[in-house]
Structure 1
C-alpha cells in the first residue's frame, strides 16, 4: 500500500490554554479521542502549525494533538518575546500533556520541532512512548553557520543568499544573525517587514526540491513570515537558549526510547550529518534517508515516509503495550 497524507479531518476540539505569564497557547485535537495520543511539534521557531500536520496520522488510530508555540500561529500575543525560550516551550509541552490528562504520548516533530522534541524527552523521558523526527536540527553553532554564513548553504544558492543579505547594511553583512537582530529589535516597522520577507524567503528557497509541485515560492502569508523570521532570529541569535551540544551531551536520557528518524538526503536547511550523528549516539533509533527529498515536510517522498512511520510506530506501540 502506498502512503500519502490521510484525508482532511476537522478538529473535534479547539481551545486556547492560558498561562500565568500572559501567553495563550492554541491547542487542537482531532482523530480518535480514545486513540494513541501523539503530539506534533511544528518547525520554526515561529512556523506555526498546519492543518496538514494532523494528516500524518491515521485518525482512527491516533488522538492527534497539535499546538502553536508561543508568539506564533494562533497563539497570543503574537511575536511576544516575554518568557519565550526553549525551556519555556518544553514546559508548555508538559503543561499541555497534564492539561489533557495524558499519561504518555508519542512525540513527533519536524525541523525545529525535532529540537523541541529532543529537549522535551531529555527533561521528561518517562512521559515519552517513542519519537518520530523529520529533518533533525541539533541547535549547534555549526548549524547556524551553515544557514547564515557564506561558507554554508550560500555556496549552493549564491544568488538567493545575496537577496537574503540585501536588507542589511553593507558593513554588517559578515554577521547576518546579528544584523537581522538589530533590525528586528528596532522601531522601523517597514524595515522589519522587508527583513522578515527576505529571511522567510531564504528558508523557503532552501526547503524543497519540488518546485514543480509546490509552485513558485512566494511570501504570501505576512503573519507567518513575521513570526518565522523574527522568532527564528531571536532564538538563533541567542543560540536557542541551549548550551553548545546540549542534545548530544544529554542523549543518555532518551537512549532507550525507540525513535524513527527521517531525513532527506538533499536537505539544505538541516544537513543529513545532523541526523547521522544523532542516530550514531542513540542505540534505539533508526535513520531512514530519503534519496530524493529535501527539507520540507510536504514533499511527496517525505509525506510517504512519515505516514508509513506513524503506522509502523502505532503497530509497535500496541504490540508492546504495558
Structure 2
C-alpha cells in the first residue's frame, strides 16, 4: 500500500503576502582586521523606509533573499547580512579554515558588527530588530545593551542558550544509546525524530557519547591531512547540519536536506555552532533573562512554534516570564501550530501580520 500521499508539508507555500523583490544594494563591510572579517549585506524594500535589521540563526547560518518577504516593501528598508564566517561573508570555515573564520568571532563581536553596519548604511535613529533562533538570542543581547537604538524586537523561536537548551538538542539519550537506543532516559528532540537521531549519534563512538558536543568539536578541531581525515570531518559536519535542518520543520522533507546537506554550508555551519556552544555562546548562563529590565520602552513581539524541537516552547515561556517579572509583558506572544523554522507556514503568517501591524516610526 502506498502511504506517500499522507505526507504533506508544514512549510510555507502560498502564504506569503509580498513577492520576492530584488535587492536595492549589496556590498561587503570590513569590520575587523587580522583576520579581515568582511560582512556581506543586502538591502531590500524602500531606501527611505523604516529600517529593519534582520538577524539570521545558527550561529553559523546565513541569509537568503526569501527572508525579505516578511516585510512590506513599500514601508520597510530591510537589511539582511551574513554574520562573521557565514554565508557570503569572508573568511569562511569551508574556504579559509577555522583558524581565520573563528578568530574574533564571538557574541560581543557580532553585537559590535550590528552597530558598524548601522553606521555604514546611515541608520542613525531607531530600527526594528528581527531575529529567530540564534537570531533571537543576538537580537535580545543587542537590545539589552543598546535599547536606545531599537524601536521594536520581533523574535521567532526563542533560544536562550542555556546549557539545558543545548543538551535537549544535542545530548538526549546519547550516553545510553548503545544499550537502549529507544529508551527515554533523558529529555531531548530524539524522542520525536528517532531515525534522524540515529544518524547523528552513530557518527560518534559509543565511549565518547557522554558529551556529544565535545566529541563533535574534537572532530572539527582536528586539522585533516589525508583524504580519509577530510572525509571523516565532512561526514561529521553533514551529520550535525542535517540533524538540525531536518528537525527544524514539524514535517521534515522526506529526502531533501536543502542547504543543510551541502558540504560547504555544513562545514561552516557545524563548526561555527560548535565553537559558540563550547564557549556557552559567550554569554553568562542567565544573561538574557536577568537583563530584560533594560528593554523598558522596547516593545517585544514573540512568535514560537508549539512543536519546535530545536528551541522548545519552554524557552519562549521562560522569556515571557522574565519580561512579566520586569513589568514588561510582551506586546505580542503568538504560539503557532508549527515547528522551528522561519519558513513554517503559520509562522510566516504570524510574523508578517506583526510587521504589518507595528505602529509607524
TM-score (norm 1): 0.93
Partner of 1:256: 297
Q: Does 1:89 align with 2:103?
A: no
Partner of 1:268: 309
- Counterparts of 2:21 and 2:115, CA distance in 1: 25
The one of 164, 168, 175 equivalent to 1:142 is 164
Contact 2:241 2:261 in 1 (8 A): no
- Counterparts of 1:20 and 1:157, CA distance in 2: 40
- Counterparts of 2:16 and 2:301, CA distance in 1: 18
Partner of 2:353: 308
TM-score (norm 2): 0.83
Partner of 1:19: 31
**Cα shift at 1:3:** 5.5
Contact 1:204 1:217 in 2 (8 A): no
- Counterparts of 2:73 and 2:254, CA distance in 1: 29
Which stretch has the larger CA shift, 177-186 or 164-173? 164-173
- Counterparts of 1:238 and 1:42, CA distance in 2: 20
Listed one character per residue, the Cα deviations across residues 216-259 of structure 1 (whole Å, up to 9, x for unaligned) are 33244222211211111111111101111110011111143101
**Cα shift at 1:284:** 4.0
Alignment of 1:44-193 (within 5 A): 44-79=58-93, 80-102=101-123, 103-150=125-172, 151=186, 152-188=188-224, 189-193=230-234
**Cα shift at 1:170:** 2.2
The one of 46, 49, 60 equivalent to 1:32 is 46
Contact 2:60 2:86 in 1 (8 A): yes
Q: Any stretches of 5+ residues in structure 1 without a counterpart?
A: none
- Counterparts of 2:142 and 2:233, CA distance in 1: 32
Contact 1:36 1:62 in 2 (8 A): yes
SS in 2 for 1:126: helix
Whose Rg is larger? 2
**Cα shift at 1:124:** 0.7
Q: Any stretches of 5+ residues in structure 2 without a counterpart?
A: 1-13, 94-100, 173-185, 225-229
Cα RMSD (Å): 1.5
Contact 1:14 1:26 in 2 (8 A): yes
Contact 1:3 1:307 in 2 (8 A): no
Q: Does 1:294 align with 2:339?
A: yes
**Cα shift at 1:94:** 1.1
Partner of 2:3: none
